[in-house]
Structure 1
Amino acid sequence: MEDRAKQRAAFSCPGVVATVAHAVQIRDGFSGWLTQSLTLDAEKTSDIILAVNEALANAAEHAYLGSPQPGLMHTRAEHDPELATLTVWITDEGRWQVKDPSIAPNPGRGRGTMLMRALADRTAVDSTTTGTQVRLQWDHIRARLDAAAQRAQDDDRLLA
């Protein structure tokens, strides 16, 4: 039987219409998965959720700007217990569009990418003609053990 602590935890939400409302739903689902699957303090949890939210908002707001209908966005997260890393990918099938420059910029906006870079240990943004993928990665992330695995780990410590 595979050791529970070595199993990869994963979250997947593929093929969702890229709207702000759907981005919020994905963020909320991801947040629930994150807190149930991984051992994080409140600050790290908040940082991860905020960075993922920014990537989702960018896909919803920019990928299909000017298109008659929004396209799709895909969200995937994976925890690698061997490397103790969490990687989150947010992908769209659109083309990054800058909002109309004739509209006065909102000084409280336009900092999402900088924020993602500040909150994640590693950030990559790859844009092609077929879409954009944001990859966010954090180190030193541990899986949450279920009750049986925690008891076994505690027993191992007592015997050592």
Structure 2
Amino acid sequence: MTEQGDSAAAFAKIGVIAGPELASQIRQELAHWLQQYFLLDAEKSSDVLLAVYEALANAAEFAYDGADQPGPMHVRAAHDPDTSVLTVTVSDEGRWRVKDQNVHNPARGRGIPLMHALTDRTEIDSTPAGTEVRLHWDDIAQNCGSRTT
């Protein structure tokens, strides 16, 4: 679902089953939305898509680890034209995975630091009801000619 409200363009995918294939599909749909509504250079667009994909991949891989079947993940993106801030929120209804201190794998554990590096601000809130990752980018210009199709 893609929406445009009075003050900001918005993107939402709610209740998508957490899985790597659907995370990739959401990334593609978000890329199209970004291209349609915002004036982003290739580097900034890549930063947004990679950070969001890392949050989606974490939800798909870890949120429902040990569950009988994967649960939902949700993606919401909105732009505030008054502050020029783009915010993408990725959330799940699973459990935060506590890192096993006895297992060291140098190829793992880079997603959250990468999200912090690619955004202007990253916030992660984990509760028993799930995890919410909020990714923020400042100074994002909206395409003035954009319209909902």
Q: Distance in 2 between matches of 1:98 and 1:33?
A: 34
AA in 1 matched with 2:24: V
Q: CA deviation at 1:94?
A: 0.3
- Residue in structure 1 matched with residue 25 of structure 2 by the alignment: 25
Q: CA RMSD, aligned part only?
A: 2.1
- Residue in structure 2 matched with residue 107 of structure 1 by the alignment: 106
Q: CA deviation at 1:99?
A: 6.9
- Residue in structure 1 matched with residue 65 of structure 2 by the alignment: 65
Q: How many residues align?
A: 143
- Residue in structure 2 matched with residue 141 of structure 1 by the alignment: 140
Q: Distance in 1 between matches of 2:42 and 2:108?
A: 25
> 4+ runs of 1 displaced by more than 4 Å?
98-102
Give the 5 Å matches for 1:73-84.
73-84=73-84
Q: Distance in 1 between matches of 2:37 and 2:100?
A: 41
Q: Which runs of 5+ in 2 are unaligned?
A: none
Q: Distance in 1 between matches of 2:143 and 2:71?
A: 35
AA in 1 matched with 2:68: P
Q: Distance in 2 between matches of 1:106 and 1:25?
A: 28
Q: Which runs of 5+ in 1 are unaligned?
A: 148-160
SS class of match (2:73): strand
- Residue in structure 2 matched with residue 157 of structure 1 by the alignment: none
Give TM-score scaled by structure 2 length: 0.89
> Greater Rg, structure 1 or structure 2?
1
Give TM-score scaled by structure 1 length: 0.83
Q: Distance in 1 between matches of 2:7 and 2:64?
A: 36
- Residue in structure 2 matched with residue 128 of structure 1 by the alignment: 127
SS class of match (1:16): strand
- Residue in structure 2 matched with residue 54 of structure 1 by the alignment: 54
Q: Distance in 1 between matches of 2:100 and 2:83?
A: 43
AA in 1 matched with 2:108: R
Q: CA deviation at 1:134?
A: 0.1
Is the contact between residue 64 and residue 97 of structure 1 (CA under 8 Å) also seen in structure 2? Answer: no
Q: Deviations over 1:73-94 (max 9, x none)?
A: 0000001111100000000000
Q: Distance in 2 between matches of 1:128 and 1:52?
A: 20
Q: Distance in 2 between matches of 1:133 and 1:34?
A: 21
Q: Distance in 1 between matches of 2:104 and 2:38?
A: 38
- Residue in structure 2 matched with residue 7 of structure 1 by the alignment: 7
- Residue in structure 2 matched with residue 89 of structure 1 by the alignment: 89
Identity in percent? 56
Q: Distance in 2 between matches of 1:106 and 1:19?
A: 22
